[in-house]
Amino acid sequence: MLDIAIVEGVRTPFAKAFGALASVPAQELGRLAARAVLQRAELPPHQVDQVIFGNVALPADAANIGRVIALLAGIPQDRSAHTVQRNCASGMEAITTAAQLIQLGEARTILAGGVESMSRIPLLYNAEATALYLQLSRAKGWWSRLRTLLRFRPRHFRPVSGIQLGLTDPVCGLIMGKTAEILAQDFGISRQEQDEFALESHRRACAAQQRCDLAGEIAPVPAEVAGKEVKQDAGPRADQTLEALAKLKPFFQDGGTVTVGNSCPLTDGAAAVVVMPGEAARAEGRQPLGYLQAFAYAGCDPSRMGLGPIFATNKLLEKTGLSFKDIDLIELNEAFAAQVIANERAFASDRFAQEQLGRTTALGTLDRARLNVNGGAIALGHPVGATGTRLVITLLRELKRRGLRRGLATLCVGGGQGAALLLESVAPSAAVTKR
């Protein structure tokens, strides 16, 4: 087992794309999260050795956004920083990369996290229009420019959605929502089941907000940055009902069951953690949020990418020698209700275990009493580069709040992958003593 301390973790509020945080660039969201976690950890910027941030849609004006965030956050310029990208697992990739660098002795204290501004993913021109604009820029003289302008047609001014391109798998050709439809068909998941799951996500998230359980992990975005102070997640809806969800039309497939209501929304937000060797954190007298003990990534069919969690979790349990019964709480990202329910059924299926995992018996039961207890991405949102880090922060805080020890953070990854992290709320030596 690893002994990597997650010293502290903070995130911004999550807001639906084109909403409260739409005007805030990704690098600014990242800066806010980075500064907040350093302040909460009482860690001066000069004590940070490296910075690693996950990001999916890299802004054109902030190449290597990890480095941009580091400098904006006041990290000394002689410290290195880089950006990682594993689609929805980018925020986890930042943390596990930090763990690997610490193991290699390349760094002692690392600022890691993830960020996404889905509001600011640009609209694009198609290739034909791009060629005409290039020709126009090279034209010499008014007659040459006029001839080029006369070649433009209405189709050249129809933008291409960068978000839609990014959410469409280039190998299987399917947008992510369509892969959820496939899982709904494979596992016989009804529209009502998906809507009921979505409603429960909102109910749990709203209850967590009322208890202030999520407030402790959030650093507000000030008015001078966003135009109006944003203090909590904008997605959870206390007035959500099954009747309202049932009125929504299928979004990805005619006659389908996946809607915008039982899917996660496009979201803006950032999250950051401070990572260091567990031994070093304890020597400094720190009380970390918890510890990263193991992690695993796994591949699967891109057209059924939503099953990534079961493949990664199986690999993680094989790696650690643990069983699913050893896990106290689970954070499984809610990209789609159909995807989570499909994992529930796959986890509990002997047949799936035998045919897909090489096991004789099912992996275990995804008990909803210990799954996403404060709601998930359907309500809270899914800023794709940041969610992996958010899952770690939320899970470790909830383990401590409940006096529990071990948690699993897992998610599916566009392109056909899964990620799974084993987290513990107490130091490894203390856990051994408890056992």
Catalytic residues: 88, 382, 412
Q: Which residues contact 77 (CB under 8 A, 6 or more apart)?
A: 71
Helix (H, G, I), strand (E, B) or coil at 243: helix
- CA 426, 289, 344, 237 dihedral sign is positive
Question: Closest Cα to residue 111, out of 171, 138, 143, 71?
Answer: 71
Helix (H, G, I), strand (E, B) or coil at 299: strand
Strands (E), 170-262: none
Bridge-based pairing state of the strands 406-413 and 417-424 = antiparallel
Q: Phi and psi (nearest 5°) for 284?
A: -85, 0
Contact 201, 372 (CB under 8 A): yes
CA distance 411 to 335: 8
Task: Please report where in the chains the tokens 């209501």 appear, as a residue.
Answer: 261
Q: How far is CA 37 from the centre of its chain?
A: 18
Question: Closest Cα to residue 67, out of 36, 98, 27, 101?
Answer: 27
User: How many angstroms separate the Cα of 334 from the Cα of each of 88, 259, 385, 420?
Assistant: 11, 13, 14, 14
